[in-house]
Amino acid sequence: MSLKKTILLGSGGHASVLFEVFYLLNEKLAGIVDKRADVSFRDCPYLGDDTYLESIKSSDFSLVNGIGRNGHPNRRADIFEDFKRKDFHFLSVIHPSVIQANDVCLGEGVQLLAGVIIQPKVHIEKNVIVNTGALIEHDTQIAEHVFIGPK
């Protein structure tokens, strides 16, 4: 996925799904950043809250947005944009079972989860979640920060 160290933001349900993708791909995360200190996913260390990210160089790390849509629909977008202003890069996460056409265009930080199918000429903007089992048909344009649920 990336040669940089990768930090997962959040520790809720969506973050746990993303962690499993990294596990399946045999990719190690540098750790988890969350406001709760009592979090862990297997051997992935807790690094601290958001203030931890102020102590590191953005050029040395990629971020994965593990914040889902529960409760605060704009929170995920706000976090993404806040860390982009601080020059962080967001890694896209693609589950190994995803089927996508060769001409699909993916923005930064897109997340394609298990069983997703994406047909030709699809353009997906930044920070989009295409959740488990969703189907995106041909010639579709998806705006930034959108959440697409399963079928």
Neighbour-count burial of 112, counting CB atoms closer than 10 A to its CB (0-12 exposed, 13-18 middle, 19+ buried): buried
Residue 151 pLDDT: 67
92-151 is classed CATH 3.40.190.10: no
Q: What percent of the chain has pLDDT over 90?
A: 83
Look at residue 150 in the predicted model and tell me its pLDDT. Answer: 82
Answer yes or no: is pLDDT of 33 > 90. Answer: yes
Q: Which residue has the higher pLDDT, 89 or 151?
A: 89
Which fold would CATH assign to domain 5-91? Answer: Rossmann fold (3.40.50)
User: What are the boundaries of each domain within the chain?
Assistant: 5-91, 92-151
Burial class (CB in 10 A: 0-12, 13-18, 19+), 30: middle
Say which amino acid occupies 50: D
Q: Would you say residue 70 has pLDDT above 60? A: yes
pLDDT digits 0-9 by tens, 96-126: 999 999 999 999 999 999 999 999 999 999 9
How many Å separate Cα 53 from the centre of its chain? 17
Phi (first) and psi of residue 31, to 5 degrees: 160, -175
pLDDT of residue 1 exceeding 90, the answer is no
Model pLDDT, residue 90: 98
pLDDT band at 24 (very low <50, low <70, confident <90, very high): very high
